[in-house]
Amino acid sequence: MENTTIYDMDSPQSQVDKLLGDKNRIEKQIEQIQSECSHTSKSLKQNQSEIRWYCDECKQALGYASKDEIDNFLTPE
């Protein structure tokens, strides 16, 4: 007898497969938007243990802050 898999559309596996497909589609859309963005406005933001420049419009990471930029960012006004 041949072993065939029947997918239950409400099963956790099918739900995960759908969500992973959605995630991939969304990530491609974000990449497209970010590649077309001119990144005219950027800000320093702390993300976990690093401080980086991010585009204010498309949220793409643009680069790492210099030591002086980090010192200014961390110094309260």
Reading the chain (77 residues) residue by residue, the pLDDT tens digits are 555 555 566 788 889 999 999 999 999 999 999 999 999 999 999 988 899 999 999 999 999 999 999 999 988 77
Determine, yes or no, domain membership for 57. Answer: yes
Range of the domain at 16: 12-74
pLDDT at 76: 76
pTM > 0.85: yes or no? no
pLDDT at 9: 66
Determine, yes or no, domain membership for 5. Answer: no
pLDDT at 47: 83
Determine, yes or no, domain membership for 27. Answer: yes
Closest CA to 38 of 54, 58, 19: 58
Determine, yes or no, domain membership for 26. Answer: yes
Determine, yes or no, domain membership for 2. Answer: no
Kind plus residue range of the DSSP H or E element containing 74: helix 67-74
Determine, yes or no, domain membership for 17. Answer: yes
Determine, yes or no, domain membership for 53. Answer: yes
> Rounded distance, CA 68 to CA 40, Å?
22
> Rounded distance, CA 61 to CA 43, Å?
10
Determine, yes or no, domain membership for 6. Answer: no
Domain count, the chain: 1
